[in-house]
Amino acid sequence: MPDFTRLHAHEMSRLLRAGEISSRALTEAHLAAAERQNGALNAWLTIYRADAIAQAGAADARIAEARRAGPAALAALHPLCGVPVALKDLVSVKGGQATAGSKILRGYIAPFDSTVTARLREAGAVILGKTNMDEFAMGSSTEHSAYGPTANPWDLTRVPGGSSGGSAAAVASYHTPLAIGTDTGGSIRQPASMCGIVGLKPTYGRVSRFGIVAFASSLDQIGPLARDARDAALLLHAVAGRDERDATSAPIPVPVELLSLPESDDEAASYLKGLRIALPREYFVEGMEPGVAARIREAVAAMEAAGATVDEVSLPHTDYGLASYYIIAPAEASSNLARYDGVRYGFSDRSSGEFIADYLRTRGGGFGPEVKRRIMLGTYALSAGYYDAYYLKAQKVRTLIKADFDAVWAAGFDAICAPTSPTVAFPLGARTEDPVAMYLSDACTLPINMAGLPGAAIPAGLSEGLPVGLQIVGAPWSELSMLRLARAYEGITARAPWRALEPAELHLTDDPTTPSPVGRRQRTASASAEGSGVQA
């Protein structure tokens, strides 16, 4: 019997329709892998074994029914019918927890489905469980989770990136072919890059945010993590589109061509002919690892060799992206997170018997240090007398950043290629004591959120044995073109030796004696926690 976990979603979809495999068997295989290896990875916070198997059974019944009804009925099924998918633990699933990686939401059970969840159910996808993340998606390493960090299957002593690190590690470890992540400043792309998979942050407004625990409302987007471009396209298709429950979701049609990216590598590669690619010089930032810069330049050179034209461009306001992002995102977060007061749900400390004091205790004890840092930052930025100097100014910078990109599209470029992260995955604990170093992980991704543009990370080889992600940025609503470009790059690198590699330390996770990343962190934390005021 082949190992079902190594299949891509589009392959599963074909085999399911052909009646060669069952969703039940696929689901069992993935659940088994997740359960076996999660001890060493801590990628999953909840596994919905019983529900997943029930959903798989229902999907098998739908497929069987469609097979009986004929080709038209089969074609009407979404390709993801019967295919497993993981959700970041800030996606609401009716009757399930949604901790957002925080202690303050411990015990909260969502009484409703997010729009993304509802659309996945409608497609017939099998929801395997919920993945680990930085608390409220604030972080770039998944170390700021109240439920312990996640390990990177390429090197278990390193981070998987974040904040969608659990989703990225689960996909890279073959626990699921697909996962939903969210990206506010790079939280899909950066972990995808560090785990060697594909991650797409759609255009702001492409995917409904209803039912997704909010971090920064004007920046948050939901998107797919997958092991190739075709799979990412299938998942995007399933969840995208206008939703009446999200006033910021756009009434723009979702292209059906997402379901039919070319299968043949040669056909895919032909998309590059005549494509105009921009290479922004500001994205090769100081402190970028030479191995990362080399892989990106090689990838772009390969595209050029396949018929694309590549020109260097300037995005002059890139430097202000980080500073303005760290005003706007915390400002919105300070307000979005005000609802966690212990009155209605989640963690609640009512020991004082007086509500203001109980608020302070609940929030003091329920939020981790990074979340508190950002709430304070955001509260300050919105305060009377500072609003104009910080928040308003940052919004103006945001307009300028957007204008930088507009100029690139106006000049006739089809896409921008850039690094995703300046570095490969860094060791667990390396940046937890230095917030600014952690923030710099997102220097190349957060301007894309500020501009509301779609951005993807795709694997582009290894540096020092660890994955490097190429970032592709497109004009608004150009996800289809970006994924065609991503698929083209897969086509021209299909025979590259690194394509055949599996995460180097994944095999270690089968060994029950391999320590969990939680244990590893506790050892480092106990050595360094003394005297650190913000350590939880």
Partner 1 sequence: MTAAEPAASRYEAVIGIEIHCQLKTVSKMFCGCSTEIDGAAPNSHCCPVCLGLPGVLPTINKKAVEFVIATGFAIEAKVATTTRWDRKNYFYPDLPKGYQISQYQLPLAAEGRLTFDTSDGPFTVCVRRAHLEEDTGRLIHAELDGRRVSLIDFNRSGMPLMEIVTEPDIRTAEQARRYAEELRLLMQTIGASDAEMENGQMRVEANVSIRPRGQEAFGTRVEVKNMNSMRAVERAIAFEIERQTVAVDAGEKIHMETRGWDEARQSTYHMRPKEEENDYRYFPEPDLPPLLTSPEWLAEIKARLPELPSARRRRYRDEQGLSAYDADVLVNDATAAALFEGAVAADPAVPPKLLANWVTGEYMRLAKGGEGSGAAAVDPAELAALVELVVDGSISGTNAKEVFAEHFATGRGVSSIVKARGFEQISDAGALGTAIDTVLAANPAAVADYRAGKAEVLGFLVGQVMKATRGQANAGMVQNALRERLDKAE
Please, which residue, 105 or 451, has the CB nearer to partner 1? 105
User: Contact with partner 1 (CB under 8 A): which of 216, 240, 415, 475?
Assistant: 216
Give 455's contacts (C-beta < 8 A, 6+ positions apart): 183, 189, 200, 201, 445, 448, 471, 472, 473, 474
Shortest separation between residue 352's beta carbon and partner 1, angstroms: 14
Q: Kindly tell me which residue out of 44, 108, 405, 489 binds partner 1, with binding defined by CB under 8 A.
A: 108
Among 384, 436, 500, 527, binds partner 1 (CB under 8 A): 384
Position among 100, 169, 278, 415 found at the interface with partner 1 (CB under 8 A): 100
CB of 383 to partner 1, least distance (A): 6
By C-beta, is 87 or 261 nearer to partner 1?
87
Q: Which residues pair with 6 in a beta bridge?
A: none
Give the other-Cβ count within 10 Å of 218's Cβ.
16
Output the six-digit token pair for 200: 């797409």
Q: Taking the complex as a whole, how short is the minimal distance between the CB of residue 45 and partner 1, in angstroms?
A: 15
Q: Does 324 bind partner 1 (CB under 8 A)?
A: no
Output 214 or 233, the one with its CB closest to partner 1: 214
Residue that has been written with the tokens 């992540």 in this structure: 181
Cis omega (within 30 of 0) for bond into 163: yes
In the chain, how many H helices and how many E strands?
Answer: 18, 11
Distance CA 428, CA 150 (A): 9
Of these residues, 13, 140, 141, 187, which one is catalytic? Answer: 187
Binds partner 1 by CB under 8 A, chosen from 189, 209, 295, 484: 209
- Which one of 345, 349, 437, 498 is in contact with partner 1 (CB under 8 A)? 345
Q: 224 pairs with which residues across the strands?
A: 180
Q: Which of these, 263, 184, 270, lies nearest to 11 by C-alpha position?
A: 263
Stretch that binds partner 1, among 150-158, 287-295, 332-340, 444-452 (CB under 8 A): 332-340
Catalytic site residue from 13, 23, 102, 163: 163
By beta-carbon proximity to partner 1, the closer residue of 27 and 114 is: 114
The rounded distance, in Å, linking the Cα atoms of 261 and 487 is: 7
**Strands of 198-201's sheet, edge to edge?**
44-47, 126-131, 84-88, 178-183, 221-226, 198-201, 455-463, 466-473, 415-419, 276-280, 309-313
Binding to partner 1 by residue 379, rule CB under 8 A? yes
| Nearest distance in Å: CB 372, partner 1 | 15
- Asked if 90 touches partner 1 (CB under 8 A), the answer is yes
Indicate whether 351 belongs to the interface with partner 1 (CB under 8 A).
no
Task: List CB contacts of 80: < 8 A, sequence separation 6 or more.
Answer: 9, 13, 120, 123, 124, 125, 178, 234, 235, 238
- Residue 396, interface with partner 1 (CB under 8 A)? no
Give the nearest distance from C-beta 160 to partner 1 in angstroms.
24
**Helix H or strand E segment including 201:** strand 198-201
Q: Which is nearer to partner 1, 61 or 338 (CB)?
A: 338
Q: Would you say 95 or 274 has its CB closer to partner 1?
A: 95
* Cβ closest to partner 1, residue 90 vs residue 229: 90
Please state the separation of Cα 167 from the chain's center in Å: 7
Which token pair is 37?
A: 């290896």
Among 112, 352, 434, 535, binds partner 1 (CB under 8 A): 112
By CB under 8 A, is residue 245 in contact with partner 1?
yes
By CB under 8 A, which span of 215-223, 255-263, 281-289, 433-441 interacts with partner 1?
A: 215-223
In the list 188, 331, 425, 468, the residue contacting partner 1 (rule: CB under 8 A) is 331
* DSSP helix/strand/coil, 379: helix
Pairwise CA distance, residues 142 & 138, whole Å: 9
From 129, 110, 144, 250, select the one nearest 178 (Cα to Cα).
129
402 is an active site residue: no
User: Looking up tokens 């205790």, which residue turns up?
Assistant: 361
Nearer to partner 1, 37 or 131 (CB): 131
Nearest to 438 by CA among 447, 448, 429: 429
Q: What angle, rounded to 10 degrees, do the helices at 49-69 and 23-41 form?
A: 150
> For residue 221, which phi and psi values (nearest 5 degrees)?
-140, 155
Q: Rule CB under 8 A: say whether 110 interacts with partner 1.
A: yes
Residues comprising the chain, all counted: 536
What sign has the CA pseudo-torsion 230, 236, 239, 241?
negative
Told to judge if 187 belongs to the known catalytic residues of this protein, a careful annotator would answer yes
Tell me how far, at minimum, the Cβ of 246 lies from partner 1, in Å: 5
CB-wise, 92 or 509, nearer to partner 1?
92
Taking the least distance from each CB to partner 1, the nearer of 210 and 439 is 210
Q: Which stretch binds partner 1 (CB under 8 A): 7-15, 268-276, 355-363, 478-486?
A: 355-363
CB of 55 vs partner 1, minimal distance in Å: 21
Q: Report the C-alpha gap between 143 and 132 in whole angstroms.
A: 10
Unique residue bearing structure tokens 């009377």:
384
3-state secondary structure of 71: helix
Q: Specify which residues 280 forms β-bridges with.
A: 313
Query: What's the CA gap between 103 and 319, in Å, rounded?
Result: 34
Are 315 and 448 contacting, i.e. CB atoms less than 8 angstroms apart?
no
Verify whether residue 532 is a known catalytic residue. Answer: no
Considering only 281-289, 314-322, 353-361, 480-488, which stretch makes contact with partner 1 by CB under 8 A?
A: 353-361
* Selected binder of partner 1 within 83, 170, 214, 313 (CB under 8 A): 214
Among 282, 332, 442, 490, binds partner 1 (CB under 8 A): 332
- Where does this chain bind partner 1 (CB under 8 A)? 90, 92, 98, 100, 105, 108, 110-112, 114, 209-214, 216-218, 244-248, 331-332, 334-335, 337-341, 343-345, 355-356, 359, 379, 382-384, 387, 391
Q: Which residues are catalytic?
A: 88, 163, 187
